[in-house]
Every structure is written in C-alpha cells, then in structure tokens.
Amino acid sequence: MLIKDANKIIVSLSKPEKMPGFAYGLPAWECKTGGKLVKVPGSVCFGCYAMKGNYTRFPEIRKSQYKRLDSLKNPLWVEAMATVINSERVSKLKVFRWHDAGDVQDLDHLNKIFAVCKLTPQITHWMPTREAWIKDHLSRCPDNLIIRLSMTMIDQPAAGSWPNTSTVVTTGAKCPAPTQGGKCLDCRACWSKDIKNISYGKH
C-alpha cells in the first residue's frame, strides 16, 4: 500500500509537542469509561485535557478525530496504519503512542491495534487505557506493546494485578516532564515494561 493511500484511510497521525514520537488520537467524548469519569469530581478524567484547549479551540482537530474513529470500520485500516508507522518519517523515532486523546472502543479495536503492533516490530508502542476489561487479553499482547492501566481516581494506588500502570498524584510525581519544559526529552519511562508504575502530577 502506498503511503498516500494509507494516509487517506487513517486520516492522519498527531505529533504532540511533548513526546518523542507520533501518536494516534480519537475523540475523548467517545471514551467508554472516561466518558463516565469526566463527570466525577476527583477522577483523573474530571476536566479532561482532551476536551478543552486546542481540542475545542480548533474545530478541525475534533473533526479529524471523528474521521479517525470512523476509519476503524475500514477493512484496510490495519494495513494502512502499519504502512504509515513503518514509513521513515515515523519509524525513525522508534516509539509510538496510542491515544493521546480517546481510548480503546471495543475488542475489535484492540485486536486491530495488536495486529498493527505485530506488523511494526521495530517500534515500541505505548497505550494508556482506562478500559480494565483489556486485562483479560494481555496474554495476547505483542511484545512491543506496553499497555498501562490508568487509575481512575487522583491519588489512587496502582492496581497490583496489572503488570504496568499509571497514576495521577497530588505530590511525589515521578514523570520528569514538568521540570523539562513539559517535554519527555530523553525519558522513555512510559514505554518501558521495566517501569511498573508511572506517576504523573495533577494538572
């Protein structure tokens, strides 16, 4: 598949300024668990960053996210995503993030992500999620994909039953980005399976 044809199918990737690689975002308004948590004070989704700022200031961003969501129905989506991620522009950065906005929609979506990861073995993929049901499918997770369960409440302890997690804390955050101009720079902790839990500071 040609890159130009693949890009038409997946719509586009995002390139968050903070991160060392490309990402793929969906509309946060369609998060299955997050869509409920956004209404819960004290949850990590309350006041969700992906429902404000540039995500709402520029209508084309939200429009693109919904186009990406719709593209998941395309039978060529897996091939198209793999083609784009394997391109020199993306693959040279060696890391990829799933869902800088949004989350896994269902099992079919998860299976497609697994397939893409298997077709891009030179890339380390990171996928944060609040969809706890994914635990039942971790045994099938490709070796180059790290899935971190994001705890739902601020200052909630990490779930010991998951191999990799992330938490949001009011004090004692380990993520170095706030001290590095809001950027990852050379930190790759989120992509490392050796790091059991990543704690982010409350925004």
* SS3 track for 95-118: EEEECCCCCCCCHHHHHHHHHHHH
- In whole angstroms, what is the distance from residue 125 CA to residue 129 CA? 13
Q: What is the pTM of this model?
A: 0.91
> Residues of the chain whose pLDDT is less than 70?
49-59
DSSP 8-state assignment for residue 45: T
pLDDT (0 to 100) of residue 73? 96
Class of residue 179 by CB neighbours under 10 A (exposed 0-12, middle 13-18, buried 19+): exposed
